Structure 1
Amino acid sequence: MRSTTTKAFAGVAVLALALAGCGSNSGSSTKSADSNAKLSYSINEQAATNLKDGGNLNLSIGEITPQLNMFQANMTVDTSTLWNWYNPQLIKFTPSGDMKLDKNYLESVNSELKDGKTVVTYKINDKAKFNDGTDLDWTAFQATWQANSGKEQEYNANTIDGYDQIDSVKAGDNAKTVVVSFVGPYPWYSSLFNNVLHPAVNSADIFNNGYTGGTLASAHPEWGAGPYALTGFDANAGVVTFERNPNWWGDKGKLDKITYTVRADVQAQVNAYKNGEADTVETSTSELLTQVTSVADTDIRRGTRAANYLLTMNSKSELLSDTAVRKAIATGINRAQLQQVLFQGLDYSEAIGGSLTLYPFQKGYQDNLSKVVAKTDTAAATKALEEAGYAKGSDGTYAKDGKALSLRLPLFSSSTTSKAMYQAFQTQMKAVGIDVQIIQKSSKDFSTTVKNRDFDLLISGWASTDPNGVAFFCQKFCSDSTLNKSGTGTAELDNLIKGPGGLTSLQTAEDQESKANELEVQALGTFGILPIYNGPEIFAVKKGLANVGAGVYATTRAQIGDFPENIGWQKD
């Protein structure tokens, strides 16, 4: 699956270095490549045999996105959250980043190098099929590759990274054996085909538009598969339900019913948890955390978050088309101060991050941003504006050609901590001579705002569902990226990434990591996107709920730390 996906900034902190005090119940920590970092998780990890048969699960979600195809460019994390409950999820990653197969779908995955080219063979469970009776076989892999390969420009895919390196997808000895051959070596094959499309998604029109419409029919439950079926979908009421799937051949789901209710505001989500209307809630700020710690039968589950929160500067906006302005913002922002606001009261701190490719706990991580912007320097930021021809007005705001630097920054949360962090950034920019207008919006408006680039500045998150950050380097930095909304990619960088002798042509994972670090310095130097923080992942969870919480790659804020059939309530 894709390594990253956009998501709304909810005023909550995210992933990183040494976490203080793991949450209760079956947490774990493992040392990483950085001796100062720990990879931590807490999901109440339980085998399916330890779970009750029955019970309901009630959860909150930010929005029911207009686009329900998780492979399509306009998806968000909320899209994939719903998708994974009723569509095939073949592969997940454990909190430590190891590939985990759902044996109900896949019997094995094996790779080999043949004549310098990676070849991966997938053995599919003979019983695997979609809800409409169509066999889940090599044609599902072929449809997924076709939509995400980049060969047909009409498909508006979230990312083509990896899929564009495939030469062919064919049946092996039988239709339940898939042989995927790459054009050369590809060390990141585990990131691909974690999810697959129904073979009926065989045209760009179906791919782009078939999952829109906001109805149960347009969500296409018949094209799904898994222990749960999509049985209720009311976009107006903001309620989606899943129940046990009578067409499922595999291990029986433990839950009777899963219900997602749209609660667009983080405080509404906290209130729902406190009132017993939701079984989990994200509480990664002190103001939220303090509200739930005294709620009866509550576990606080903490872990490392595999996500980057970043500032996007929209170069398509007239005022930000000038690199000098974007550089002034990058030079004037004080990320340490913003982190202090966000992490206050959490008993947590992290080093200032400098990469959107690898995390501080991963081998190969480097602080690449420090090679572009060495430190916060307000004086240097204002000097850069003046050298570019901007003059300070009587109100302290710089202007050029009669146009003042007044920029729109949408805020998708009512959290006091969120507002305080935005206001701190606003003050920092005022010192530079840039006016930032904070525009309050509902989280339900997030996907539309991002899709339409209806912002000058944007603070949002990119979450990773696997540890192979280098595999998705192009998704983040190529000029045709649908994820990176800064519009600052260049043809020169594209060539260095995917051209002859470029990043994707290198033989080993180590060589690609080294090259990615080198190229990220150049990419960050276009001043389009800027990492702000990672942060901790903190959830309040009802005691007894198993395999849910802070699970690093396994959860990516959706909180679900295992395959759907392994989610449930622990036996007494």
Structure 2
Amino acid sequence: MSHHGVGLRAVLRSAAFLTAGALAVPLLAGCGSDDKAGSPLAGQDIAPVARGQVADGGTVKWAVDAVPETLNTFQADADAGTTRVAQAVLPSMFRIDATGRPVRNPDYLESAKVIETEPRQVVLYKVNQQAVWSDGREIGAADFVAQWRALSGKNSAYWTARNAGYDHIAKIERGASDLQVRVTFSRPYADWKSLFSPLYPKDVMGTPDAFNDGARRKLKVTAGPFKVEKVDTANKDVVLTRNPRWWGRPAKLNEIVLHAVPRDERAAALADGTVDIAAIDPVDAQRIGLAGREKGTGTPLQGAGKTSAKKLQAWALAHGFDSDEAKAGKKKLREAIGEYLEEQQNLRAFDVRKSLEPAYTQLALNGSEGPLADERVRRAVARALDRDELAKLVLTPLGLPAVPVDSHLALSGQAAYADGSGAIGGQDTKEAQALLADAGWVPGGPVKKQKKAEQAAGSEGDKSEQEDKSDGGKDGEYIVGEDDKGRGEETDGKGRHHESAEEKHEHGEKGGKPLAQEGRNGGAPGAYAPKGTAAPAAAPAGPLAKDGKLLALRFVLPSGPGSDTLNSVAERISAMLDRVGIRATISKVSDESYFKDHIASGDYDLALYSWPSSAFPATDARPIYAKPVPAADGSVNIGQNYTRVGTDQVDQLFDEAAATLDGGEEKDLIRKADARIWAEAGSIPLYQRPQLVAVKKNLVNAGAFGFQTPVYEDMGFLKKGAKVPASPKAD
């Protein structure tokens, strides 16, 4: 989150834990002082080598989704490109390690620790004596003060997207020297390590005008191994060059060029040398893997035109051409195949490095109205799902560990991770049916005639789902917060959203709208499945009804290009629900309207999207699970809780976790909160997202970083004669 270009922060409230008919939740589920975090399911895959084996010089061209709209990570339209620039050119007091935990960054900090707890918490930062801004001024207390004042939420002239943590600060003072910074908090704040990462110079934070506009397209003053040379919107580039005033290990590369390339054009961009490193989807990963194996094999173009058009079409379809391309005339198809084969030849220069992204995909259940407003029905949905099967569907074809995510608030390897799913239980058809019966949904009940509009909507959804096939992952997933240009919002209960002044100040959050990320053609929330995967043959239960209505849920998905495997995964979930008598009809909507008009507005029953993990869940996960709060004008502030399911006790646990300075106690409180979030069944974690990165074979210390913040100064090209280490095997 904070160190991955996202901030998911808000304030929660509190109410009774479980109502009548609820499952009993063990109070100690997911808690205890023993370490249950385990280790990351997949390690980094970055071809790590010692700096001595990396050549000096060179330019790396790195694909990004778009040229950042702003270089200020604290603004609402900051995205993943903004974060990548900040990581390379600005100080971070703490960075994230390979286990997803914050560690002191020695390039900027000699030390940072809590030196007083009574009457108030005081943290003393001792800045590295060599640390200077690119204009020669030392990094010091004035920069900390300017950032606090800009982000405290007290001055509305600053257009900030997140304030969490900075609004806990009472004052900042110079210590024994300007390199010592005393930060006094107004109340205890467990996640103080999330602050001042990144740290901007006082030139950016000092005035509202400088904050709002000055750092959008340029950063004149920086303090990292690289500096911003230029933002070239015409050529879709952000050019970073070595910082001559950098005091740490010198950057190996002369330049890093962040170049905007659409997801569906990345294989071509890699092949023609436009980029050297790019996040890709499973289809392109499969293609690159095939390129490395097909040297010397025959092609359909051999034989001077003797290959029939029919055979050319069959070959084209088998190699990922779309049907329109395959149906082109023989001459055009031969030309297209020729271009493809030339690209394949060039793609042999690349490896696919893979890990698991620090984000997980969930099934979201809208609990604001309809059948899912009853927690027993939500729990029945949860008990109907075989999460192991879904994880295998997504991850096994990619050679990644196929393990479901068992926590809402952390991922395996992070300190707060523990299996909280026992609060609701695993897949159990009989238990799911018993919960539905307890909620009044019974088989064979009288069903009132549907309205024509409902019938039409249902039949349209059914038509879209007739063919359940996967192409190996052409779709991506929506991930909330990661390339985000939105904010947490509030709704008036009719689906209209607006931002409250209280939310700006209290929630102070870089907000969450699911945006296309990691998808070949822009995004769809979902998963990746092997080619040809179909939904399993189900043994559907009889339809359930209550008060003359069928138990039917609307499963909303995007309809844009590349959503084939998303459809396959949704079909698999629908088949699981069908076995217990829940009818889930898939309804496809445009990519543009998916989040705004459906997820954020509450116009869905079931949906798939992803959340980033956080090293600071007590702060960053709060808005996702905050109990919606009614306002005097009849609106409802949902923050980023798009399932609209929350309880006072979960809110209280987050409050307590954020206010303790005992790391063990904070971890226990987070695990208790997770167990209770499981019990409410507003969202069901499914699997950790795959991270696939195509990298030129001789580019080292770069690739699939997993949890860890990239170390930009160590990236570079291998010296002649040195060998690239083998990629790690997936567990």
Q: Is the 8 A contact 2:128 2:179 kept in 1?
A: yes
Identify which range, 348-357 or 389-398, moves more after superposition.
389-398
Q: Is the 8 A contact 2:409 2:614 kept in 1?
A: no
- 1:441 paired with 2:591, answer yes
Identify which range, 377-386 or 117-126, moves more after superposition.
377-386
Deviations 1:453-510 (A, max 9, x none): 69745533333464x4445343543357855444444555434432xxx233334111
1:514 paired residue number: 668
What secondary structure is seen at the aligned counterpart in 2 of 1:221? coil
2:2 paired residue number: 2
Letter in 2 for 1:289: A
* 1:158-169 alignment runs, 5 A limit: 160-169=163-172
Deviations 1:284-341 (A, max 9, x none): 74x443211214343443445432222344567x769835575565455443333232
* 1:6-155 alignment runs, 5 A limit: 33=36, 40-64=43-67, 66=69, 68-72=71-75, 75-97=78-100, 99-115=102-118, 118-126=121-129, 128-131=131-134, 135-149=138-152
Q: Which runs of 5+ in 2 are unaligned?
A: 8-34, 293-346, 459-544, 628-636, 721-731
1:13 paired residue number: none
2:227 paired residue number: 229
* 1:116-515 alignment runs, 5 A limit: 118-126=121-129, 128-131=131-134, 135-149=138-152, 160-183=163-186, 188-202=191-205, 209-210=212-213, 218-235=216-233, 238-245=236-243, 251-265=249-263, 267-282=264-279, 285=282, 287-293=283-289, 294=292, 295-313=347-365, 322-323=373-374, 329-362=381-414, 365-372=417-424, 374-375=426-427, 377=429, 379=433, 387=441, 405-410=553-558, 414=562, 416-425=564-573, 432-439=582-589, 441=591, 456=604, 458-464=607-613, 466=615, 468-470=616-618, 472-479=620-627, 484-489=641-646, 493-498=650-655, 502-515=656-669
What secondary structure is seen at the aligned counterpart in 2 of 1:240? strand
Q: In terms of Rg, which structure is larger?
A: 2
Deviations 1:138-180 (A, max 9, x none): 2322333345455668877665554454443221122222122
1:567 paired residue number: 715
Q: Is the 8 A contact 1:429 1:435 kept in 2?
A: no
Q: Is the 8 A contact 1:109 1:121 kept in 2?
A: yes
Q: Is the 8 A contact 1:73 1:483 kept in 2?
A: no
1:540 paired residue number: 694
What secondary structure is seen at the aligned counterpart in 2 of 1:195? coil
1:23 paired residue number: none
Shift of 1:55: 0.9
Shift of 1:516: 1.6
What secondary structure is seen at the aligned counterpart in 2 of 1:306? strand
Letter in 1 for 2:194: S
CA–CA distance in structure 2, aligned partners of residues 91 and 304 of structure 1? 22
Identify which range, 546-555 or 50-59, moves more after superposition.
546-555
Q: Is the 8 A contact 1:120 1:181 kept in 2?
A: yes
Letter in 2 for 1:539: V
Letter in 1 for 2:608: I
C-alpha RMSD of matched pairs (Å): 4.4
Q: In structure 2, do the counterparts of structure 1 residues 34 and 257 end up closer, same or farther at CA, with 3 Å as the change threshold? A: closer
Letter in 1 for 2:198: N
Letter in 2 for 1:433: R
Identify which range, 335-344 or 509-518, moves more after superposition.
335-344
- 1:551 paired with 2:705, answer yes
What secondary structure is seen at the aligned counterpart in 2 of 1:353? coil
1:19 paired residue number: none
Letter in 1 for 2:59: N
2:525 paired residue number: none
Deviations 1:68-109 (A, max 9, x none): 532345544344223323333343233145655555433433
Q: Is the 8 A contact 1:329 1:381 kept in 2?
A: no
Q: State TM-score, norm by structure 2.
A: 0.61
Shift of 1:355: 0.8
Q: In structure 2, do the counterparts of structure 1 residues 485 and 35 end up closer, same or farther at CA, with 3 Å as the change threshold? A: closer
Q: In structure 2, do the counterparts of structure 1 residues 34 and 187 end up closer, same or farther at CA, with 3 Å as the change threshold? A: closer
What secondary structure is seen at the aligned counterpart in 1 of 2:92? coil
Q: Is the 8 A contact 1:161 1:475 kept in 2?
A: no
2:520 paired residue number: none
Identify which range, 111-120 or 173-182, moves more after superposition.
111-120
Identify which range, 384-393 or 84-93, moves more after superposition.
384-393
CA–CA distance in structure 2, aligned partners of residues 137 and 98 of structure 1? 25
CA–CA distance in structure 2, aligned partners of residues 384 and 281 of structure 1? 51
1:20 paired residue number: none
Letter in 1 for 2:237: V
Q: Is the 8 A contact 1:470 1:513 kept in 2?
A: no
CA–CA distance in structure 1, aligned partners of residues 366 and 235 of structure 2? 33
Shift of 1:364: 5.2
Q: State TM-score, norm by structure 1.
A: 0.75
